[in-house]
Amino acid sequence: MDLLSNDFLTALIAGGILAGMPLLLAGLGEMVSERAGVLNIGLEGMMLFGAYIGFVAAYYGGSSWLGFLAGAGAGAALSLIMIVLCVRWGLDQIVVGIAITLAAEGATALIFDAEFAETRPTLGDVNRLSIPGLSRIPVVGGADSSNGSLFSQPLIVYLSLVLVVFVAWMMRRTHLGLNVRAAGDKPAALDAAGVSVLGTRSWACLFAGAMAGLGGAYLSVVAAGLFEPFITQGRGFIAIVLAMLARGRPVWVVIGSFLFGISLSISDALQIAGVDISTDVVFMLPFLTVILVLVIFGRRAYLPPALGLPYVRGAR
């Protein structure tokens, strides 16, 4: 047993990225949406829907990019329900979120069983982009390893990281970002400034849906290469937790999702190192960690004051 061998570390990093990417994408979307004051509990359903549609598109279209695009579109389409019912009409976000999750779970399982129950098709591997030079570095390079490593990943991974930087810049440095934050912190002030609160929230919610769908598509197209009912296994809820813990900082979404990704995939890496540990224990670890973090740092968890509350002009 050699826990610090190169193979083990490479597998750990690769697994962390592979399992962490869906969390990162969905968590980033949820973070923006939470900042704007919309608590999107339907994230799990949007991921699942994106995973299914993305899988179908990649399977019939033969291109992973088609899958990502379709997945993001599917997630955004599902978030339209949330926008109309919660943002526009002011219905409770939690009730509608649960409804979206349940309906998406039922619908994807039903349609998948009707379409693919016998064939259960799988997709081929997605091409990895090995960055010249850097991918030759032993542990983080990963040009020769089967799952790659930090510098040998599908293009979508790099693009997502660029997106994180862009969102961070946007939230912090632009008017749009200020509007989004104001929509969650003090919607009345935003309204008084002449910016539509409902419009801002709608776009934030749409973004969250698209990102969740993209995360789901990554899960089915890249990480698993197949779709099965309930493939997300609660990852949408983890993403919500990550977004809340990140307190509006995209960097923390990245760190958190990478750490969660590692603990979701550590049992594979441990097997390479010759350690056999029950998956039940491993799956429990990230949640235990978060609960502990909450107990210890609980006081510092920050949520926008107007989170989950529909905005009605003139209401106090």
Partner 1 sequence: MSDAPVTTSITQPAGAPLGPPSEGGGRGPARAALGMVGDVAVRSVGPIVLALVFGGFLLLALGVDPLTFYGDVIQGGIDFGAWQDTIMRMAPLLLIAVGLIVVFRANIWNLGIDGQFLLAAAIIAGLGPEMLDAGMSRWLVLLVLFLIAGAVGATWTILPAVLRARYGINEIITTLMMTFIGINLANILIKGPFQDFESNVPQTKSMPFEDLLPAIPGTRIHVGVLVAGAAAVAVWFVMSRTSYGLRLRILGANARAAQHAGLNVSRLIVTSFMVSGMLIGFAAASEILGIWGYVRADWNPAFGLLVVPLVFLARFNAIAVIPFVFLLSLLSIGGDFATQEAGLSNEFTLLLVGLILLFMGVTELLGRRRDLGQSYLPSRLRRRRTPQTAPAPAEGAPRPAEPGAA
Q: Which residues of the chain form contacts with partner 1 (CB under 8 A)? A: 41, 45, 81, 85, 88-92, 94-96, 98-107, 109-114, 117, 197-198, 229, 234, 237, 240-241, 244, 278, 280-281, 283-284, 287-288, 290-291, 294-295, 298-299, 301, 303, 309-316
Cβ at position 250, least distance to partner 1 in Å = 19
Cβ at position 90, least distance to partner 1 in Å = 3
Q: In the complex with partner 1, which residue's Cβ is closer, 88 or 120?
A: 88
Taking the CB of residue 15, how many other CB atoms lie within 10 A of it?
22
Cβ at position 233, least distance to partner 1 in Å = 9
Q: In the complex with partner 1, which residue's Cβ is closer, 272 or 285?
A: 285
On the 0-12 / 13-18 / 19+ scale of CB atoms within 10 A, 116 is middle
Per-residue exposure over 197-224, b if at least 16 CB sit within 10 Å of its own CB, e if not:
bbebbbbbbbbbbbbbbbbbbbbbbbbb
Query: Minimal CA–CA distance to 232: which of 217, 253, 210?
Result: 217
Furthest C-alpha separation in the chain: 66
Q: In the complex with partner 1, which residue's Cβ is closer, 150 or 231?
A: 231
Q: In the complex with partner 1, which residue's Cβ is closer, 140 or 285?
A: 285
Cβ at position 232, least distance to partner 1 in Å = 13
E strand or H helix that includes residue 64: helix 64-82
Cβ at position 51, least distance to partner 1 in Å = 15
Cβ–Cβ < 8 Å for 52, 108: yes
DSSP-based three-state secondary structure for 193: coil
